[in-house]
């Protein structure tokens, strides 16, 4: 007995029916205390002291000068852009 063929579904249709993968994102809210390192508009790391935040920002900027890097002061609610001298 001969089997009947089913119409093939495209890969895109198969992926569309599958459940989306969970996405892990950084915290969208700014910290309420300390300092945060903001890279291209995304919060990447938090520090307790301004010196530590600026040191991390300068190291990152020296490795990747094309990035826009800021240090956010949570108490004053002000961010300062880091530039190379």
Query: Does 17 map to a domain?
Result: no
Q: Is residue 13 part of a domain?
A: no
> pTM for this one?
0.65
Q: Does residue 34 belong to any structural domain of this protein?
A: yes
31 within some domain: yes
How many domains is the chain built from? Answer: 1
Helix segments in 20-77, DSSP class H: 50-63
- pLDDT score, position 5: 76
The pLDDT, as a whole number, for residue 73 is 94
pLDDT at 79 over 90: yes
Range of the domain at 38: 26-81
pLDDT digits (tens, 9 = 90+) for 20-72: 655 545 556 778 889 999 999 999 999 999 999 999 999 999 999 999 999 99
pLDDT of residue 6: 72
In whole angstroms, give the CA distance from residue 71 to residue 41: 11
Q: For residue 20, tell me if it sits in a domain.
A: no
> DSSP letter at 40?
T
């Amino acid at each position: 007995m001969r089997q009947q063929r089913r119409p093939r579904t495209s890969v895109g249709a198969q992926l569309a029916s599958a459940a989306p993968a969970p996405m892990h994102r950084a915290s969208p809210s700014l910290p309420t205390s300390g300092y945060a390192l903001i890279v291209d508009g995304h919060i990447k790391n938090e520090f307790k002291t301004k010196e530590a935040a600026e040191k991390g920002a300068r190291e990152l900027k020296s490795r990747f000068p094309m990035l826009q890097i800021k240090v956010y002061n949570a108490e004053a609610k002000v961010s300062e852009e880091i530039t190379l001298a």
